[in-house]
């Protein structure tokens, strides 16, 4: 599975701890991340990560493009809901695309844990069917 990992600045430490806790699961999948988040995961957790630009420089949009092409299976995005983000429209677009293309999206640690446990237990196999269809539901 292809998994995108994103975190706003005040949530990066939480994401690093989360990926560290589930390193064995994440190691079995292809990881993608925005700039600084990906760099930290590579350096601190020792997992390979395909890095895009940082979020404010278009990284969220790059991941959104993969979602729109049905080339991303899961997005874990630890958002900071208490801090204004200069690229909030990009964040909103990524969330919208995840809904349009039925890509599981976690915006907090609680939901991310449910998704990762589902991944571990094989509950994400339906994504293989969706990937082969290539169209969002309802179209």
Q: Which residues are annotated as catalytic?
A: 60
107 HSE (CA, 13 A, CB side): 10
Q: Which residues of 70-87 are buried (b: 16+ CB within 10 A; e: fewer)?
A: bebbbbbbbbeeeeebeb
Sheet holding 2-7, edge to edge: 50-51, 30-33, 2-7, 74-78, 105-106
Q: Cβ(77)–Cβ(15) under 8 Å? A: no
């Amino acid at each position: 599975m292809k998994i995108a990992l994103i975190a706003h600045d005040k949530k990066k430490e939480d994401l690093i701890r989360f990926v560290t806790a589930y390193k064995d699961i994440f190691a079995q999948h292809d990881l993608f991340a925005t700039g600084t988040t990906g760099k930290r995961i590579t350096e601190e957790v020792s997992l390979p990560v395909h890095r895009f630009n940082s979020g404010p420089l278009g990284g969220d949009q790059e991941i959104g493009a993969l979602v729109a092409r049905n080339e991303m299976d899961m997005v874990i995005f630890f958002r900071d809901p208490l801090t204004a983000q200069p690229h909030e429209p990009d964040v909103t677009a990524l969330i919208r695309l995840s809904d349009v293309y039925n890509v599981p999206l976690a915006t907090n640690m609680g939901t991310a844990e449910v998704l990762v446990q589902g991944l571990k237990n094989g509950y994400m196999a339906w994504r293989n069917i969706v990937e082969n269809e290539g169209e969002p539901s309802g179209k």
